[in-house]
Amino acid sequence: MSDTRPKLLIVEDDPGLQRQLRWAYEDYQLFIAGDRDEAIEMLRAETPDVVTLDLGLPPDPDGTSEGFATLAEILRIKPDTKVIVASGHGARESALDAIAGGAYDFYQKPVDIDELGMIVRRAFHVHALEQENARLADTAPEDGRVLGRLISGAPEMMKVARTIERVASAQVSVLLLGASGTGKELLAQGLHDASPRRGGAFVAINCAAIPETLLESELFGHEKGAFTGAIKMTQGKIEQAQGGTLFLDEVGDIPLALQVKLLRFLQERSIERVGGRTAIAVDTRIVCATHQNLEEMIVAGSFREDIYYRLAEIVIRIPALKDRPGDPALLARHFLSRFARDMNPQVKGLAPDALAALDAWTWPGNVRELENRMKRAVIMADGKLVTAADLDLDDERAAGGEVVNLKAAREMADRRAIRRAIARTDGNISGAAKMLGISRPTLYDLLKQYQMQG
């Protein structure tokens, strides 16, 4: 039986540490090399995804030259390898140089097995994410685009897209159910574009965004003089959708009294404008959406059962972003490309910690939240890669609540508080220090300690 465990290569010349690490990493296929030549030979033969690399290798065990040469050669041969470097020689300077040279992470000797184990696990996780995202990008049609402008590579959304394509040609009302920000209007537009009505107008109205007193006029239109301020005849959204598609977003917010009038339109396919007496025939398709549970609203008496069955001839449920594997990174790359072009052209991609954070975050605001975070991240990014910190996802929330120890938790909290204080004082260090309740020199020390820019 073939061994399916992930492959880990340890490049370490200390026999005692080799034995210790071999015992600690039984969950991996383990390969151990004592110098650069052995490391490169095993890299070519076994293609491990993660490598731990001691920078102090022979023939320069007291320096770092051989370790850096090994790092460069590993990344030249297999650029997607996650290399975790270790050094006891000028650890901070060496670590920064190694990261700049393409290393994934570092740890300082003497080795803490638990800490190193966590870094290794995350390296494998990030590598798997990158491989899956690359696979999705290769297999998703038109660079992730399905059903017009919808971008997804997740099987759950592919199923939704196929369902919409199948019902597009049928003359049935469609109800889209999903949380806010999941792309219901985009899907409704895709349904319209795939239907025989694509030559007509796609007219959308958010029923929750319009005051109850104005919603009737917005939907049905009004005649001149129908009410104070009605200085001319105005067509409503239903009439504007003649020959096309009417999209009623947040249909659960339509008040009961207006539901009666809407039901009459659905039955008779004609309307009367507010203040009018003439029936106007309207041929339009109805697509609705809501984040509410309409069946519970029917039981509660706030939504009519008869109108529900008129609107919900076909019900399509839209999965939340957290339930669409690979889509956060796929969408993030799309938004990055779009925003960087105009806002920060130096930004070219996503850092490994950003990819991990995108995958771990639960996205309560779904795609709308992701879009907003990416816009902010592109603007705030200092380098070529957007980081988890740029996304404001670099704390314990992005790691599923995992906090390694009190020191790590303190650093996470410090970083968040400092970022917010500096942002709220428009970069004024004195003001930020006052807001934080510390002295300006203390804030400068923290900025230096956490390698944050003031």
Is 181 a residue whose pLDDT tops 70? yes
- Predicted confidence band of residue 406 (pLDDT cuts 50, 70, 90): low
- 216 vs 98: which has the higher pLDDT: 216
Within-domain flag for 143: no
Do 392 and 326 fall within a single domain?
Answer: yes
Helix, strand, or coil (residue 241) = coil
Do 153 and 294 fall within a single domain?
Answer: yes
Within-domain flag for 343: yes
pLDDT of the residue at 86? 83
Q: Could you tell me the two tokens for 28? A: 């991996």
At 343-375, the pLDDT tens digits run 998 888 888 778 878 877 889 999 999 999 999
What is the distance of C-alpha 113 from the center of its chain? 32
Q: Are 330 and 137 in contact (CB under 8 A)?
A: yes
Do 49 and 15 fall within a single domain?
Answer: yes
Do 201 and 284 fall within a single domain?
Answer: yes
Question: Mean pLDDT over all residues of the chain?
Answer: 84
**Domain's final residue, options 138, 172, 195:** 138
**Domain's final residue, options 296, 319, 342:** 319
220 to 193, 199, 284: CA distances (angstroms): 24, 22, 13
pLDDT of the residue at 424? 63
Is 420 a residue whose pLDDT tops 70? no
At 163-176, the pLDDT tens digits run 998 999 988 999 99
CATH of the domain at 421: 1.10.10.60
CA angle 297/299/304 to nearest 5° reads 65
Do 327 and 196 fall within a single domain?
Answer: no
Do 364 and 264 fall within a single domain?
Answer: no
- Predicted confidence band of residue 62 (pLDDT cuts 50, 70, 90): confident
pTM for this model (two decimals)? 0.59
Do 168 and 278 fall within a single domain?
Answer: yes
Sign of CA dihedral 139, 145, 147, 150: positive
Do 36 and 161 fall within a single domain?
Answer: no
Within-domain flag for 222: yes
Within-domain flag for 2: no
Other Cβ atoms closer than 10 A to 266: 14
Half-sphere exposure of 230 (CA within 13 A, CB side): 19
Q: Are 375 and 332 in contact (CB under 8 A)?
A: no
What is the distance of C-alpha 340 from the center of its chain? 16
| Cross-strand pairs, 92 | none
Q: Are 286 and 246 in contact (CB under 8 A)?
A: yes
At 380-391, the pLDDT tens digits run 888 888 888 889
Within-domain flag for 121: yes
pLDDT of the residue at 202? 96
Q: Are 103 and 85 in contact (CB under 8 A)?
A: yes
Do 305 and 214 fall within a single domain?
Answer: yes
The conformation of residue 315, written as its DSSP 8-state character, comes to E
Do 175 and 186 fall within a single domain?
Answer: yes
- CA nearest neighbour of 298 among 250, 252, 262: 252
CATH of the domain at 378: 1.10.8.60
Q: Are 128 and 356 in contact (CB under 8 A)?
A: no
Within-domain flag for 1: no
Which residue range forms the structural domain that includes residue 432? 405-454
At 63-86, the pLDDT tens digits run 888 988 999 899 888 888 999 988
With 0-12 / 13-18 / 19 or more C-beta atoms within 10 angstroms meaning exposed / middle / buried, residue 62 is exposed
Is 247 a residue whose pLDDT tops 50? yes
Q: Could you tell me the two tokens for 345? A: 């052209």
CATH of the domain at 66: 3.40.50.2300
Question: Do the strands 150-151 and 385-386 form a parallel or antiparallel pair, or are they unpaired?
Answer: unpaired
Instruction: Quote the number of domains for the chain.
Output: 4
Strand ranges in 265-392 using DSSP code E only, listed in sequence order: 270-271, 280-281, 285-290, 314-317, 349-350, 385-386
Is 144 a residue whose pLDDT tops 70? no
pLDDT of the residue at 398? 44
- 42 vs 413: which has the higher pLDDT: 42
Is 142 a residue whose pLDDT tops 60? no
- Predicted confidence band of residue 283 (pLDDT cuts 50, 70, 90): very high
Please state the rounded mean pLDDT for residues 25-29.
85
> Prior bond to 59 cis, omega within 30?
yes
Do 165 and 284 fall within a single domain?
Answer: yes
**Domain's final residue, options 319, 346, 364:** 319
The conformation of residue 58, written as its DSSP 8-state character, comes to T
pLDDT of the residue at 147? 65
Is 141 a residue whose pLDDT tops 50? no
- CA end-to-end distance (rounded Å), the chain: 55
At 5-26, the pLDDT tens digits run 899 999 988 888 888 888 878 8
Within-domain flag for 12: yes
Is 411 a residue whose pLDDT tops 50? yes
- Predicted confidence band of residue 148 (pLDDT cuts 50, 70, 90): low
Is 440 a residue whose pLDDT tops 90? no
Do 280 and 375 fall within a single domain?
Answer: no
- Predicted confidence band of residue 88 (pLDDT cuts 50, 70, 90): low
